[in-house]
Amino acid sequence: MDRLRMLLERLPEGYSEVSYRGRRYAMTRRTFNRGRSLKVFARELGGNDVVSLNGYLTARGWQLKPCEMSEHKVLDFLVHCKTG
């Protein structure tokens, strides 16, 4: 899925602050295994919401593995979060 690859690649490595649906989040992206896997964790600043996912690059492209939440929530965050 090229769209998923583009959504993941636009997230900066390391710590950053992003906005998502009018709220600010502290987000960390870490890349592992020479770029073949990644972890994203975002926590709402001043709130209780979190977004957490692992991503794995397979022969079929990037595969998402949300952590204790729906894939819909993770995809919505990736589509609507704004960096910078």
| pLDDT one-digit tens code per residue, 34-73 | 999 999 999 999 999 999 999 999 999 999 999 999 999 9
- What are 50's two structure tokens? 């979190």
pTM for this prediction: 0.93
pLDDT: which is higher, 84 or 73: 73
CA dihedral 10, 24, 70, 76 (to 10 degrees): -50
